[in-house]
Copies of this chain bind each other. A is one copy, B any other.
Amino acid sequence: MQLKELSRQSGVSAASIKYYLREGLLPAGETVHATRAQYSARHVERLELIQALRRIVGLTIEQIGGLLRMADDGVPRLALLAAVQRVVLNLDSRATAGGGPGTPAADAVVRLRSWPDSPSDARNALNAHLELMESLNIPVSGELLDTYSKAMNDVAGLDIAATTAPESVDRLILTAAVGMHMHSQLLLKLLALAQASHAIRRYERDA
């Protein structure tokens, strides 16, 4: 199929497809002649992936490009999942310069939950975030971290258990990114409702 047909099937405008080609999100079609290119079902799939990452997950073109380039370079799946996590869960605060000493609180959490103690984006992000909270004078008690981390441990156990390894790398990215986003948002919605409920009870009691 050629550009116009690809546009029709994917629902993405021809101009946008050209833009994605320029930005390296979509591999070039097979050039038959200087002015004719063939696109395949893979291109349709790739476009659907791009749309989902843009519209549902809300990633930027640059972030999507990074993930897709990793996928095309054959990066191992675990590393790819870590990259997905980084962009979906915002682990790349500029403050996240890896390799710092680590906060005592984060170390305590990792020990308490007996999580594998290896440096990672998630670990660095946690350290950076705890330091940020400290610098803002927001207290983080051991009890709070304990409760939070226990809750997240329970949740993550279910999340990972529900994960089945998909066929293609593109689909791995799709399900991982969309799933992570939806689950984290679900968590925040439940948090909001729980907070509101507690707040109502408290205000009623005070009144």
Contact = CB atoms under 8 A, between A and B. Distances in A.
For the residues of A in contact with B, the DSSP-based class is helix
B143 A192 contact: no
B91 A194 contact: no
A7 to B, nearest CB: 24
A196 B120 contact: yes
B201 A116 contact: yes
Contacts of A154: 147, 150-151
Contact of A185 (B90, B115, B178, B190): B90
B136 A182 contact: yes
Interface of A: 56, 78, 81-82, 85, 89-91, 109-110, 113, 115-116, 118, 120-123, 125-126, 129-130, 132-133, 136, 138-140, 143-145, 147-160, 162, 178-180, 182, 184-203
